[in-house]
Each structure stands twice: as C-alpha cells, then as structure tokens.
Homo-oligomer: A and B are copies of this chain.
C-alpha cells in the first residue's frame, strides 16, 4: 500500500531549513528552525517538537476529468534535484465553507475563483502535494496542508500564484493560514 499519511515536524532536525514563517491570518505557529517530513508508519517523531502537523493524501474533491488530464500532462513530481525551495502552507477554512453543498463549493472554488486554472498556469515549475487533515480527528488545527517545491529561479512566480489565490473569492473562507518557506542544500 502506498504512503498517504505524513507528519510535518517543526523542530531542530530535518532536511529542510525554515527560512521564513509568515502568519497570513489567524493564530501563528511556534518558532522552529528546521522541518522534518515523516511518512506513514514512521510517524513517531521528536516528541518535544514545537509543532507537528499531520495530513493524509486522498481522492480528488473538485477536479473534473478534463482538468485532471490537463494537470497530469503538465505536472512534475516532488524531489526534483533543482527544486531546493519548498513551502508548507497549512490552511483552515471557516464553518460557512463546510456548510456549503458540493455544487456551491465547486462554484466558489473554480467558477468564481479559478483555483484549478490558476494552478495550471504554474505547472510544471511548481510541484504540489495536498494533504487533508479535517477528517483525521475532531481536533486538527488545520483542514489542509499544502506542500510545494520549486527551483529558486521560480520563486517570483510562486509568490504570484499565492497572490492570485489569496485575492480570490475562495480565500474569503480561509480563517487560518501560515506560510512557511524552506530551503535545502543542493545535492
């Protein structure tokens, strides 16, 4: 069975150095120096780490087949040698979002906010993996953990991607967001 569960551990160890943490909205996270990404059954990390965020990859919730085909044709995988920059962006949406029905959420996400179309423009430069947290337990601090990897040369584009999304109708439903930027040494 493939790995679906990941823990993102903010502490003193890990491949990724935390270079900047910006609280976009809501409660901040505690300070940490490095990020350790732990998968599946290994999720018994540093017990005294300032924070541990868990998420699980899952089925598509909004993407339709034609969009999926366009994404698959353009996207690249994680762990490319040149992608020495990463961002971990945990997000929580408000109660009003979760009370919307499926057609209403799709309408806000794509018809009104162009979330999928905006993301497509930044492929293949930005690679992404989405982790869901909301249904792991009743008490998760975020709903989603967004993980992005890109080469340093594409940082300006990555920032533009975030600006476009944050200006959208969908982001009116975001009640907590922290933007954590990371670097690793070249291999």
Contacts and interface: CB of A to CB of B under 8 A. Distances in A.
Contacts of A56: 135, 137-138
Contact of A59 (B3, B62, B98): B98
Nearest to A134: B58
A24 to B, nearest CB: 23
Contact of A136 (B100, B102, B135): B135
**Copies of this chain, tallied across the complex:** 2
Contact of A101 (B64, B102, B132): B64
A60 B101 contact: yes
A141 interface: no
B63 A102 contact: yes
Contacts of A98: 59
Given A56-B135, A65-B103, A65-B104, 8 more contacts: A4-B138, A56-B137, A56-B138, A58-B134, A60-B101, A63-B101, A102-B102, A136-B136
The 6 closest A-B pairs by CB, nearest first: A64-B103, A135-B135, A65-B101, A59-B98, A4-B138, A5-B138
Interface of A: 1, 3-5, 40, 56, 58-65, 67-68, 98-104, 106, 132, 134-139
13 contacts: A3-B138, A5-B138, A40-B138, A56-B135, A59-B98, A59-B99, A59-B100, A64-B101, A64-B103, A64-B104, A65-B103, A67-B101, A68-B101
